[in-house]
Amino acid sequence: GNSVTQMEGPVTLSEEAFLTINCTYTATGYPSLFWYVQYPGEGLQLLLKATKADDKGSNKGFEATYRKETTSFHLEKGSVQVSDSAVYFCALTSPDTGRRALTFGSGTRLQVQP
Amino acid sequence: NAGVTQTPKFQVLKTGQSMTLQCAQDMNHEYMSWYRQDPGMGLRLIHYSVGAGITDQGEVPNGYNVSRSTTEDFPLRLLSAAPSQTSVYFCASSYSRTAGKETQYFGPGTRLLVL
Q: What string of DSSP letters covers A10-64?
A: -EEEETT--EEE-EEEE-SS--EEEEEEE-TTS-EEEEEEE-STT-EEEETTEEE
The pLDDT value recorded for residue B100 is 64
Q: Tell whether B4 is within 8 A of chain A (Cβ).
A: yes
**b/e per residue, B62-100, with b = 16+ CB within 10 A?**
eebebebeebbebbbebeebeeebbbbbbbbbbeebeeb
- Shortest distance, CA B38 to any CA of chain A (angstroms): 9
Q: How far apart are CA A51 and CA A49, in angstroms?
A: 7
**Most B-contacting residue of A21, A52, A100 (CB-CB within 10 A), to test interface:** A100
pLDDT (average), residues A99-107: 84
pLDDT (average), residues A13-28: 95
A100 contacts B45? CB cut-off 8 A: no
- Out of B45, B59, B100, the one facing A32 most closely (by C-beta) is B100
**Most B-contacting residue of A8, A39, A44 (CB-CB within 10 A), to test interface:** A44
Q: Tell whether B103 is within 8 A of chain A (Cβ).
A: yes
Phi and psi at B83, nearest 5°, equal -55, -30
pLDDT (average), residues B23-47: 91
Q: Read off the pLDDT of residues B60-102 as tens digits, 9 standing for 90 and up.
A: 999 999 999 999 999 999 999 999 999 999 999 988 655 566 7
Q: Tell whether B27 is within 8 A of chain A (Cβ).
A: no
Residue of B nearest to A48 (CA): B103
Provide the pLDDT confidence category of residue B40 given band limits of 50, 70 and 90: confident
**Strand A86-93 relative to strand A75-77: parallel, antiparallel, unpaired?**
unpaired
Q: Read off the pLDDT of residues A49-90 as tens digits, 9 standing for 90 and up.
A: 998 899 999 999 999 999 999 999 999 999 999 999 999 999
